[in-house]
Structure 1
Amino acid sequence: MDTAGATARGKHVLFDVDGTLIDAVDNQRRVWRTWAERYGLDPDEVYRVALRTRPLETFASVAPDRDPRECLAALHELEDEDVRSGVYGAFAGAAELLSALPPGSWGLVTSNYEHRVRGRFARTGLPVPEVLVDAASVTEGKPSPVPYLLAAERFGALPQDCLVIEDAPSGVLSGRRAGMTVWGVNAPAPVDGVHRHFTSLKEAAPEILAFVTGAG
C-alpha cells in the first residue's frame, strides 16, 4: 500500500520549538544579557543559571531580593521585543519535514508562549499546527509530563503512539515521564534518556516521517 501522505494509525509526533525547530540560542543569550545588565548582574552567570532552570527559579537564584513578578514582566518585555525585531532561523530540514508530515499528525509542545511561537514561525516561514501546547496551557511545565500528556489528549492519541523530538534534558525527561518515545536532535552527544540520538534535525527527518506514516 502506498503510504505517501497517509498517517499510521494513532501515530503522532510532538516537537519542542526552541533548539529543536527554531535556532534561538543567540536570541535567548541576548535577551538574558540585556535583562541581567538591567539589574546590574553578571550576564554570563545569569545565562548559565537560566539554561538549567525556569525563569522564576532563575530569579530566585540570581536576584533573590527582587520582586519575581517585576523580573518576569521585564523578561517578557524583552522577549516580545526580540520576537518583533530579532533575527531567527529554522534548523536545516525543518520546513521540508513539517510540510511533508500529514496534516493533523504533528504538534508543538513548548515552554514558551503561543504568541511568540507564532511570531517566530511567521519570521521563518514554518507552518503552525492545530495542536500547540504552550506555557499558558498547563500549570506544570517541563520536566513534568503534563505538557506532553495534554498534547496527546488533544490528538486523542495514546502516549505510547507519540514520538517526542527534543534537544534539552528537561524536555527529554518530560516526554519519558509521559510514557512516550523520545528522540534527541541538534546535539553532538546524546541527551540522557533519549531512545535515539541524531546530531541534527535534518538527519532525523526521514526517520520521523517514517514513524508517522508507518513507512519504516
Structure 2
Amino acid sequence: MTNRSARPGSPRYVLFDVDGTLIDAVANQRRVWETWAARYGLDSDAVYEVALRTRPMETFAAVAPGHDPQACLTALHALEDEDVRTGDYTAFDGASELLSGLPAGRWALVTSNYEHRVRGRFARTGLPLPDLVVDAAAVDEGKPSPVPYLLAAQRLGAAPQDCLVIEDAPSGVESGLRAGMTVWGINTADPVHGVHRHFASLREAAPHVLAFAAV
C-alpha cells in the first residue's frame, strides 16, 4: 500500500504508540494479567489471550462476568501502577536516538495506557518525552477508533495527511488508517494488515522516520 500524500511544503508530524513500539512491555503486561487472573481464580493464559484483543472492561465482561467490573479495573490499575514502580522496562534499540532527533513540537505519543504510567516508564528507560501525550483519559473512544490520533493531530495543529503513525498492533494500525494518516508498522515479523510500510524493528525504521519528519 502506498503512503497517503502529505501536502507539499507542510510540516510533518510523527505520532507514536508506546507499548510494543518504543518500549518493550510485553513481559510486564503478561505478568500483570497473570497476577490479576490468579486473584480471581482464572486461567491466566485464557485471560491474557482475551486481553490482547480487547480493552480491559471488555476483557472483564468476557472472562469474569460475575464480578464487579469497576472492582476488576481497580485491581488491574493497582497492579499496573506497581509494575511501573518495580518492573524492568527496556526501550527498543534506537528509540532514544530517534526521539531525540525529531523536531520539537512535531511528535507526540498516542497510547491506550495512562499518562502517569507512560511518564514512569519513560523515566525508567531514559527516553525523552514530547510535549503532548494523548492517553486513555483524553478520549471517550480508544483504538481502533480514529479519535485518539485525530485528537493528537488537532492538538499539534496538524492536518491528518501530514501525520505519520508508528504502530505495532492491529487496533492501532486501524486507528491511524481511519484517521486518514500514513501508517508504518514496526517490531513484527510480518506486516500488520493495512500498513503503508513495514519494518522488522524500530532501529530499521528510524532513519526513514527522521527523513519523513525532516520536511
Q: For the superposition of Structure 1 and Structure 2, which TM-score range results when normalised by the shorter chain? A: over 0.9
Aligned counterpart, 2:11: 10
Cα-to-partner distance string for 1:105-144 (whole Å, 9 max, x where unaligned): 1100000000000000000000110111000000000000
Aligned counterpart, 2:201: 200
Aligned counterpart, 2:4: none
Aligned counterpart, 2:128: 127
* Separation in 1, partners of 2:146, 2:99: 24
* Separation in 1, partners of 2:194, 2:74: 34
Cα-to-partner distance string for 1:32-78 (whole Å, 9 max, x where unaligned): 00000000000000000000000000000000011000000000000
Aligned counterpart, 2:34: 33
* Separation in 1, partners of 2:10, 2:28: 38
Return 5+ residue gaps in structure 1 as ranges: 1-7
For 1:54-203, list aligned pairs within 5 A: 54-203=55-204
- Give 2:153's aligned amino acid: A
* Separation in 2, partners of 1:104, 1:59: 38
Given that 1:56 and 1:72 are in contact with CA atoms closer than 8 Å, whether structure 2 keeps it comes out as yes
Return 5+ residue gaps in structure 2 as ranges: 1-8
TM-score for both structures, normalised by structure 2:
0.95
How far 1:9 sits from its partner (Å)?
Answer: 2.9
SS of equivalent to 1:173: helix
- Give 1:22's aligned amino acid: I
Aligned counterpart, 1:20: 21
SS of equivalent to 2:205: helix
Given that 1:164 and 1:182 are in contact with CA atoms closer than 8 Å, whether structure 2 keeps it comes out as yes
Cα-to-partner distance string for 1:10-48 (whole Å, 9 max, x where unaligned): 210000000000000000000000000000000000000
SS of equivalent to 1:52: coil
- Give 1:135's aligned amino acid: A
* Separation in 1, partners of 2:200, 2:58: 30
SS of equivalent to 1:141: coil
Given that 1:10 and 1:158 are in contact with CA atoms closer than 8 Å, whether structure 2 keeps it comes out as no
User: Please, what is the CA RMSD of the aligned residues?
Assistant: 0.7
TM-score for both structures, normalised by structure 1:
0.95
* Separation in 2, partners of 1:69, 1:22: 28
* Separation in 1, partners of 2:160, 2:85: 35
Given that 1:46 and 1:62 are in contact with CA atoms closer than 8 Å, whether structure 2 keeps it comes out as yes
How far 1:104 sits from its partner (Å)?
Answer: 1.0
SS of equivalent to 2:166: strand
